[in-house]
Amino acid sequence: MMKQIHLRLDDNQYKEVAEYAKMAGMTVQDSVSTAIYIMLSKQKKKKYTHKFTFIDLFAGIGGMRLAFEEAGGECVYSNEWNKFSQQTYMANFGDMPDGDITQVNADDILDHDILVAGFPCQPFSIAGISKKNSLGRATGFADKTQGTLFFDVCRILEAKRPKAFMLENVKNLCSHDKGKTFKVITESLNELGYEVFYKVIDGQLFVPQHRERIIIVGFDRERYGSYFDFEFDIIPKEPKPVMADILEKNVDDKYTLSDKLWTYLQNYAAKHRAAGNGFGYGIAPLEGVSRTLSARYYKDGSEVLIEQDGKNPRKLTPRECARLQGFPDSFVIPVSDTQAYRQFGNSVVVPLMAAIAKLVVKKLEELKVTNGVNGYREVV
């Protein structure tokens, strides 16, 4: 339920608010609402003893930032191009992320200890690399990754030389283009002088959602040498969370599927079952885990539905989606349901990322006095 208030501004104040709103791609009303959210979030913000600094690239709504702040970090720079995600990020952290990362001068970014990025997966041009190899010419990360957003991660790593990085992506990154994309990524990070480790981890260790993601971490060989190991020693949450834990008690009827949509989803599922396919809606077990929440959830909610007595199933509410990703209830959702579904579907499992962040920080502390094995490898 939305409430309305009347606000009096003098001409100069209104002019400044209107100019800011235009710059941020928001309405005047949204910009005022965001300013109020920022004020409230600053009052509620936890006070941390900052052990390290980090930057938040492809920041989305700040899931990785929450994780690294929990590990004791201070964010000194953020970047996110989507204006609705920027709005949510600003409402919760009081920072407006930079926009187009391809236009950012890496030297203008503040020095930092850890680079954090949930970069998009884009295809790499293998043909160009093969041609250079056949001519006996060396290829560096710029040749291999130019034209992709991963290139921007690499150029910032090269320019700022942080002690470590942590990257997150979909599980399929490993198999994309028959493994060639992932090979380019790991080789590029190695050429930049980082000792690289990776593992596919399921978010259901911390939340009631099957969500596999690849985590790639790296440590600067120029600082720490190459004779060391890194283990993803993650302790799962106990007791194991289930869907019933994240559900709201009183849910508006607008989240219940219409008869038309419910009939369509049932027919669609029956059609694919008959063809031997596994496509169709998913009723989430209350004492189990759900399917993976995706950015398309706003369309029909079919991958994660909640059964109801005497009614059609319903979609999750935006707050339930936030909980399914491990966001705290204090996290502000200033956007429409449609945008919220997209944002949480694109985000990360916050407590899982926080657990890995703490391991990275712990390793950095150990590396002040120790080091070990050469090259990159998968951690099993």
Q: Which CATH superfamily is domain 49-236+350-378 in?
A: Vaccinia Virus protein VP39 (3.40.50.150)
Q: Is 121 known to be catalytic?
A: yes
What mean pLDDT, rounded, does the chain reach? Answer: 85
Strand partners, 256: 314
Closest CA relative to residue 112, chosen from 162, 49, 165? 162
pLDDT at 2: 55
Count Cα atoms within 13 angstroms, Cβ side, for 54.
Answer: 30
- Residue-wise pLDDT tens digits, 60-86: 999 999 999 999 999 999 999 999 999
Among 2-16, 257-271, 292-306, 323-337, the minimum mean pLDDT is found in 2-16
- The CA dihedral of 202, 172, 85, 357, to the nearest 10 degrees, is 40
Largest CA distance in the chain: 70
Higher pLDDT, 151 or 218: 218
**Of 75, 121, 154, 321, which is the active-site residue?**
121
- Residue-wise pLDDT tens digits, 236-278: 999 999 999 999 999 999 999 999 999 999 998 888 777 767 6
- Residue-wise pLDDT tens digits, 177-191: 778 888 889 999 999
Fold observed for domain 243-346: DNA Methylase; Chain A, domain 2 (3.90.120)
Per-residue pLDDT band for 55 (boundaries 50, 70, 90) equals: very high
DSSP state of 377: E
Across residues 161-180, what is the average pLDDT? 88
Per-residue pLDDT band for 137 (boundaries 50, 70, 90) equals: very low
pTM reported for the whole predicted model? 0.82
125 has pLDDT over 60: no
Q: Tell me the percentage of the chain whose pLDDT exceeds 70.
A: 80
Per-residue pLDDT band for 293 (boundaries 50, 70, 90) equals: very high
Across residues 165-176, what is the average pLDDT? 88
Residue 172 main-chain phi, psi, to 5 deg: -65, -10
**Phi-psi map region of 109: left, alpha, beta (phi>0 left; psi -120 to 50 alpha):** beta
